[in-house]
Structure 1
Amino acid sequence: MLNSGFAHKSFFFGTHRLIEPHATFDRVKPFFSDFGITRVANLSGLDRIGLPVVMVCRPNARSSAVFHGKGIDLPSAKASGVMEAIETWHAEHAELPLRFGSFDELRARFQLCDVDGLPALPNVMFDRSRPLLWAEGRNLVTDRPIWVPFELVHAISTVSGPPSSNCFAAGTNGLASGNHILEAMSHALCEVIERDATSLWRCGRATEQDGRRLDLSSVDDSACRTVIECLDAARFDIGVFDITTDVGVAAFQCLIVDRVEELGHIGTGAGCHPSREIALLRALTEAAQVRMTYILGSREDITAADYATETLRGRNIATGDMIQRSAPTRSFTGVPTRSFEDFNTEVQWLVGRLEAIGLGQVIAVDLTKDELAIPVVRVLVPGLEGSDHHPFYTQGARARAKARDRR
């Protein structure tokens, strides 16, 4: 998969892409009916922040029916939203080589992934004698085939899963699309590294979290400065934390709290990318997007409790305290950064960073459909933490080790 042709980047404003965001949108728009996309709505005016946020609707989805996109401008937000909807459709309609059998049965004939490093469900011990469906992927470290549990590849959540599902904490982590398979891989790798970073950051000591707060005056990227100034002008307190881990890929967590409305919705966002300015911009714009998500209230995972007075007050107090108690001492220029002219080198570097910390299985499952020719990939990295936003998240080895350090 790493030998999938040369993928030279040509767009570098606010993100790194093979082609400009508007060209991506125009390329996939003719397929909207295939994906069940009925609406792409500009939500930017629903919040006084004014940053571009869009909503993409797929009413007959087999998972979430609403997706959101964000970016430095409206074309970027539209491309972000529709590609998220499209990649999820691919995972809902995965057509892959599958095998049905137990771990113990198949391991004698096939290379299987390290199931102990996959995101586990609480109080569920994986049964190696239990038959389940496996999908074929490719280990990007060895460039050899490797089989992974199918329930961590597909994204169907509206109906009962295939036989012997519910062994792992399944979601959409590591699912990504792009204009080239390597662009999709880069996005997917950054996402799994980001989710690992946010989970580790949240289980760290408060003093460690506080010491990672970013001095926003040290940010020297024009796009990031524009968003920071926009949030400040809209009267929001901003707390950004450098959550980069031992993987060495820049990652940030952003918190925003309304200075005007005591019971306003907060915003939280995270971003990860080899280039620190792209990672920061993703975290900033995602915080605005998350706040907009609550204002709109259209997602299935939002409940009435999210709008209760006690909930809003509690979130504002907790988030405001986290921002106010910490001094912004971390310099943006001290965060590691790399920039690559092509996705070939970028993906190789990302895989190398994971391999450098002892993760020997970096697995990509190609979900691209030939008749649509929109590259989609699911990446799994046994050993990385899963998303602690998952309703059934349970700590993996890295988080448990960090928790032990707190004692």
Structure 2
Amino acid sequence: MTVQLPIEALVDPVCGLVRELVPVRHEGMPDRYVAYTAEVADSRRFGVWPSDRVALGTTFGDPEGARIAAIAEAVERYCGNYVPAGLRRASAKELAAAGERHLGPADLPFYADWQFEQPGFPFAPFTEDLQILWTWGEEDGASGCWVPASFVYLNWRQGTRCGEPRLNHLNYAGIATGQGLADAKLRALLEIVERDALNLWWGLGGPARGIRPESVPGLAADLAGSRLRCHLVEMPNEFGVPAVAALVWDPELRIAAAGFAARFDPAEAATKAVLEAVHTWVFTQGLTTADGWVFRAIEAGILGRGLYLDFRADRRYLDDAGPRFERVRDLGAHVQVWLDHRLHPLMRRFSEPAELVDVAAIPSGSEAELYARLAEGGHRVVTVDLTTPDIAETPLRVARVAVSGLIPNAPAAFPYLGYPRWTEAALRRGWRDRPVTPDTFTFAPPPHM
């Protein structure tokens, strides 16, 4: 009989995946904001397995929940960075000829033709003839399905894989840890819906109705003790899931920080978005001085050099970002460029909506409705179980979910503009009366990482 290990078994200073959990406090934090940093063991000792060395868990008023969240994030990055042997090499055309289901170029049309023509653009077209590596997943309503491995695993371009065709940036959207695979899958799927809603609302400059922060139960108490000003908007989507964008503004440090969440309960989505925005605010403070913790982490080799712009005391990072933000090559640099006050007029996207409603006016969603609407839209949902055998001895599971047609988030330099959904959604929602072009797209990122 197999005895399942408790989650806390993953925490041990000698043998644990998580060596230590450390509470985090910064001046000006809301009184109820709780954060734990997980110091994670170095999986590179086992080979080409560069999982994150630091993970974070946050809550409002729930220390144990923050501890579990930090462990879960460490597990997500640990499993997501493990690439097993035996991946299949084939072209999409070969899979189709063999009658094998797969997510091919029509399902994942990453980049537009004009992007490949830009000097120094690092990605290759995903074509039917291209030989790539694939991994096996389970498709809803069907049997198995092949998914491009570069879209499944984190930090894919390592070791011998540096010679593989580079189709996409690291895929941030759709990976999650849960209490069992079904829970992990649902969390990952909601993240994909959130990022798709964010991409369309922000990139297309679409309207959104505001939510009165005071109408969200408990939110005023959660933010008490801080100087942060909060704004909330509902991001449109067609999947019946409340998706909320939050902005917190620090008038003293002049930091704008955003967070986003999709949950079936609109109040829960709003609170989670604010929680994420507060974390973004904390992170951004590490970029405000030349010896801030972000730059110290770069010097220590914990964060990659070249992922951030060089420090500027004058904060005029737009001078270095490039006309289409082509030098903003990592999500962390998004908040760095937002230290430049010339981006701050975009805060009106959060603070000056066309209308304001109470959170109770937003209908709740459901899992059944989400799946029904995905099916109606012709979106294929494929799940890959990434749980490693050691983590499988605990209740935790890690799922990667890929959904055809929905747009993942990416650094400002590499937006996935090959998706027809940009134009289809813009026309259907009345945000455009003609196809989306580079001249009508918002390349400036939101203040979020």
Question: CA shift at 1:43, angstroms?
Answer: 1.6
Q: Identify the residue that residue 155 of structure 1 maps to in structure 2.
A: 154
Kindly provide the amino acid, as one letter, of the partner of residue 309 in structure 1: R
Counterparts of 1:33-52 in structure 2, within 5 Å, are 33=15, 35=17, 37-50=18-31, 51-52=33-34
Question: CA shift at 1:403, angstroms?
Answer: 4.8
3-state DSSP class of the match of 1:115? coil
Q: Identify the residue that residue 369 of structure 1 maps to in structure 2.
A: 388
CA 1:372–1:322 in 2, change beyond 3 Å: closer, same or farther? closer
Q: Provide Cα deviations, 1:290-333, integer angstroms capped at 9, x if missing partner.
A: 11112242454454448753342426733544444336513311
Kindly provide the amino acid, as one letter, of the partner of residue 274 in structure 2: L
Counterparts of 1:377-396 in structure 2, within 5 Å, are 377-389=399-411, 391-395=413-417, 396=419
Unmatched 5+ residue regions in structure 1?
Answer: 1-22, 340-345
3-state DSSP class of the match of 2:66? helix
The question of whether the paired residues in 2 share the 8 Å contact of 1:244 and 1:251 is answered with yes
The question of whether the paired residues in 2 share the 8 Å contact of 1:193 and 1:272 is answered with yes
CA 1:320–1:196 in 2, change beyond 3 Å: closer, same or farther? closer
Counterparts of 1:7-406 in structure 2, within 5 Å, are 25-26=7-8, 28-29=10-11, 33=15, 35=17, 37-50=18-31, 51-58=33-40, 60=42, 62-72=50-60, 73-95=62-84, 98-109=87-98, 110-118=100-108, 120-121=110-111, 122-123=115-116, 124-140=124-140, 142-157=141-156, 159-160=158-159, 162=161, 164-205=164-205, 208-209=207-208, 212-219=209-216, 221-222=217-218, 224-227=219-222, 229-230=223-224, 233-259=225-251, 261=252, 263-296=253-286, 297=294, 298=297, 299-300=303-304, 301-305=307-311, 308-311=314-317, 312-314=339-341, 317-318=344-345, 320-326=347-353, 329-338=356-365, 346=367, 349-359=369-379, 361-373=380-392, 374-389=396-411, 391-395=413-417, 396-403=419-426, 405-406=431-432
| Greater mean alpha carbon deviation, residues 289-298 or residues 394-403 | 394-403
Q: What CA distance in whole angstroms lies between the structure 2 residues aligned with 1:194 and 1:306?
A: 32
The question of whether the paired residues in 1 share the 8 Å contact of 2:24 and 2:36 is answered with yes
Q: What CA distance in whole angstroms lies between the structure 1 residues aligned with 2:312 and 2:404?
A: 33
Calculate the aligned-residue CA RMSD, in Å.
2.8
The question of whether the paired residues in 1 share the 8 Å contact of 2:249 and 2:257 is answered with yes
3-state DSSP class of the match of 2:210? coil
Q: What CA distance in whole angstroms lies between the structure 2 residues aligned with 1:90 and 1:307?
A: 38
Q: Identify the residue that residue 3 of structure 1 maps to in structure 2.
A: none
3-state DSSP class of the match of 1:383? coil
3-state DSSP class of the match of 2:221? helix
Q: Which has the higher contact order (CA 8 A, sep 6+)?
A: 1
CA 1:63–1:282 in 2, change beyond 3 Å: closer, same or farther? same
Q: Please list every run of at least 4 consecutive aligned residues from structure 1 whose deviation after the TM superposition is greater than 6 angstroms.
A: none
Aligned length in residues: 365
Q: Structure 2 length normalisation: TM-score? A: 0.73
Q: Structure 1 length normalisation: TM-score? A: 0.80
Unmatched 5+ residue regions in structure 2?
Answer: 44-49, 117-123, 287-293, 298-302, 318-338, 434-449
Q: What CA distance in whole angstroms lies between the structure 1 residues aligned with 2:38 and 2:130?
A: 39
Question: CA shift at 1:113, angstroms?
Answer: 1.4
Q: Provide Cα deviations, 1:331-355, integer angstroms capped at 9, x if missing partner.
A: 311222146xxxxxx4x55333321
CA 1:41–1:118 in 2, change beyond 3 Å: closer, same or farther? farther
